[in-house]
Amino acid sequence: MQDAIRLTCLSCGQANRVPLEKLDAGPKCAKCAVPLLDGSVATIDTQTHDKAVRFDAVPLVVDYWAPWCGPCKTMAPEFAAAAGALRSKARFAKIDTEKFPALSQRLQIRGIPLLILYANGKEVARLSGARPASDIKTFVMQHL
């Protein structure tokens, strides 16, 4: 029986072991003290992306976006609203495809905004286009 899970800090990249009974108590990163499950959207880099996707026990929803993309900017508050609503079900992050083009190529991202849901070390589903928070929540809950 598992008594702790691994969560990568989406702020500093530190791997944290969190006891299951402390998940609802607002666990913080052992290195930088940033909350690990606070319902916010983290801006991440490729290294943190890969660690969180591969090893974390809590599902991760990543928004692949770019600063010049109008639909991406329009969807940002909706993505944040979905993150707050699903704080106990999944973590939410965003990565700038302009800063990390190699990641976009590796994941074969053809258009943005694009949401990818990861769980248990693999990609579960994709949702393309700007969406309201209700669509994002439905997408995550359908695939968990």
Query: What whole-number distance in Å separates Cα of residue 144 and Cα of residue 141?
Result: 5
Please indicate whether residue 69 is annotated as part of the active site: yes
Query: What whole-number distance in Å separates Cα of residue 14 and Cα of residue 40?
Result: 18
Please indicate whether residue 72 is annotated as part of the active site: yes
Contact 16, 36 (CB under 8 A): yes
Burial class (CB in 10 A: 0-12, 13-18, 19+), 61: buried
Burial class (CB in 10 A: 0-12, 13-18, 19+), 118: buried
Query: Exactly one of 9, 29, 32, 72 is catalytic; which is it?
Result: 72
Residue 126: how many other CB atoms lie within 10 Å: 14
**If DSSP codes are grouped into helix, strand and coil, which group holds residue 130?**
coil
Catalytic residues: 69, 72
